[in-house]
Chain A
Amino acid sequence: MGESRAVTVNQPTEDKTIDITVVINGKEQHLQTEPTKRLVDILRNDLDLTGTKISCGIGRCGACSVMINGNLINSCLVMAYQVDQASITTIEGIVREEGLDPIQTAFLEEGGFQCGYCTPGMVMAVKSLLADTPNPTEEQIKTALSGNLCRCTGYGGIIRAVQRVIEEGTYL
Chain B
Amino acid sequence: MQRDQLVYKNRNRVRPDGKAKVTGSLKYLTDLSFPNMLYGKILRSAYPHAKILSININDAEKLPGVKAVITHKDIPGLNGFGIISPDQPVLCEDRVRYVGDAIAAVAAETIEIAEKALQLIKVEYEQLPILDDPEIALEPHAPQLHENGNLLHQAGYQKGDVDEGFVRSLVVIEETYQVPRQMHTYMETEGGVIVPEANGALSVYVGTQHGYKDRFQLSRILGKPEEDIRIISSPMGGSFGGKDELNIQPYGAILALKTACPVKIHQTRKESVISGLKRHPMRITMKTGVDKDGKILAHKVDILADTGAYSTLGPAILDFAVEHATGPYMVPNVKTEGLSVFTNNGVAGEFRGFGGNQITFALEGQIDRLAEKLNIDSIELRRRNIRKVDDVGPLGHRIAPTNGASDVLEAISNHMKIKRNELNNLNLDKFKVRGIGTAITMHGGGLGQGRLDPAGGRLSLNKDGKIEIAFGFEEAGQGILGVIETIVTEELGCSTDDLSIIIGDTALVPSSGSTTASRGTSMVWHAVKRMKDVFERKLLDQASKHTGISVNELQLSSGGVSKLANDKSFSLVMSYLELAEHMNKSKQSSIVTTNFDFPTTPDDVDGGHFLYTFGSVLAQVEIDLLTGKVKVIDLDQSISAGPIVSMKGYTGQIEGGGVMALGYTLMEEALMVEGKYITENLDAYLIPSISDVPFAMMTEAIESLHDGDPYGPRGVGEIGTVAVAPAIAKAIHDAIGYWVSRLPVSSEEILQAASHRRMKQWAKVEQ
Contacts and interface: CB of A to CB of B under 8 A. Distances in A.
A114 B19 CA distance: 12
A55 B187 contact: yes
Given A60-B681, A151-B687, A156-B651, A114 B478 contact: yes
A149 B187 contact: yes
A19 B648 CA distance: 47
A154 B655 contact: yes
A50 B652 contact: no
A146 interface: yes
B683 A48 contact: no
B657 interface: yes
A118 B651 CA distance: 18
A83 interface: no
Interface string B645-658: 00011011001111
B188 A115 contact: yes
Given A53-B237, A113-B18, A48 B23 contact: no
A111 B652 contact: yes
Contacts of A57: 268-270, 681
A15 B236 CA distance: 36
Contacts of B690: 141-142, 145-146, 148, 150, 155, 158-159
Of A57, A60, A105, A156, chain B has the most CB atoms within 10 Å of the CB of A156
Contacts of B270: 57
A58 B685 CA distance: 13
A159 to B, nearest CB: 6
Contact of B187 (A111, A123, A150): A150
Interface string A17-60: 00000000000000000000000000011001011111111101
Interface in B233-255: 235-238, 240
Given A151-B687, A152-B477, A157-B648, A61 B18 contact: no
Given A50-B27, A104-B23, A154-B697, A115 B689 contact: no
A138 B696 CA distance: 11
A143 B690 CA distance: 8
A44 B28 CA distance: 12
Contact of B17 (A104, A116, A145): A116
B193 interface: no
Interface in B73-98: none
A155 B187 contact: no
Contact of A91 (B24, B184, B235, B479): B24
Given A154-B693, A157-B652, A115 B477 contact: yes
Contacts of A63: 187
B23 A91 contact: yes
Contacts of A146: 689-691
B60 interface: no
A114 B479 contact: yes
B249 to A, nearest CB: 19
B33 A117 contact: no
Contacts of B648: 110-111, 157
B269 A56 contact: yes
B659 interface: yes
B377 interface: no
B188 A159 contact: no
Contacts of A109: 14
Contact of B112 (A14, A112, A116, A154): A14
Nearest to B478: A114
B681 A58 contact: yes
B681 A116 contact: no
Of A63, A104, A105, A141, chain B has the most CB atoms within 10 Å of the CB of A104
Nearest to B264: A45
A117 B691 contact: no
Interface in A94-110: 95, 100, 104-105, 107-110
Given A116-B26, A119-B22, A158-B690, A151 B186 contact: yes
Nearest to A49: B24
A107 B14 CA distance: 10
B515 interface: no
B31 interface: yes
Contacts of B729: none
Interface in A43-94: 44-45, 48, 50-58, 60-61, 63, 90-92
Given A50-B27, A53-B188, A159-B696, A108 B19 contact: yes
Interface string A108-136: 11111111111110010000000000000
Nearest to B648: A111
Contacts of A111: 648-649, 651-652
B682 A58 contact: yes
Nearest to A41: B111
A55 B24 contact: no
A153 interface: yes
A116 B237 contact: yes
B185 interface: yes
B187 A151 contact: yes
A119 B19 CA distance: 11
B409 interface: no
A109 B482 CA distance: 13
Nearest to B237: A117
Contact of A154 (B19, B649, B657): B657
Contacts of B33: 45, 48
A108 B187 contact: no
Given A114-B652, A116-B21, A154 B689 contact: no
Nearest to A110: B648
A119 B477 CA distance: 11
B386 interface: no
B695 interface: yes
Nearest to A107: B22
Contacts of A53: 28, 187-188, 237
B395 interface: no
A117 B28 contact: yes
Given A58-B683, A61-B682, A153-B655, A115 B24 contact: no
B236 A115 contact: yes
Contacts of A156: 651-652, 655-656, 659, 693, 696-697
A117 B238 contact: yes
A156 B659 CA distance: 9
Contact of A153 (B17, B184, B266, B656): B656
A149 B690 CA distance: 8
A119 B187 CA distance: 10
A53 B681 CA distance: 16
B238 A151 contact: yes
B294 to A, nearest CB: 34
Contacts of B719: none
Nearest to B689: A146
Contacts of A145: 689-690
Given A61-B682, A117-B187, A156-B697, A100 B23 contact: yes
B699 to A, nearest CB: 8
B660 interface: yes
B652 A55 contact: no
Of B25, B188, B478, B662, chain A has the most CB atoms within 10 Å of the CB of B188
29 contacts: A50-B28, A52-B24, A57-B269, A57-B681, A58-B269, A61-B187, A63-B187, A92-B23, A92-B25, A100-B19, A107-B22, A115-B186, A115-B236, A116-B20, A116-B477, A117-B187, A117-B477, A138-B695, A142-B695, A147-B689, A149-B187, A150-B187, A151-B238, A152-B187, A154-B659, A154-B693, A154-B697, A155-B659, A157-B651
Closest A-B pairs by Cβ, 10 of them: A51-B24, A115-B477, A117-B237, A116-B21, A154-B659, A111-B648, A91-B24, A50-B31, A114-B477, A156-B655
Interface of B: 14, 17-28, 31, 33, 112, 184-189, 235-238, 240, 266, 268-270, 476-479, 648-649, 651-652, 655-660, 662, 681-683, 687-691, 693, 695-697
Interface of A: 14, 44-45, 48, 50-58, 60-61, 63, 90-92, 95, 100, 104-105, 107-120, 123, 138, 141-143, 145-159
Given A154-B652, A159-B696, 5 more contacts: A48-B33, A58-B682, A142-B691, A153-B655, A154-B688
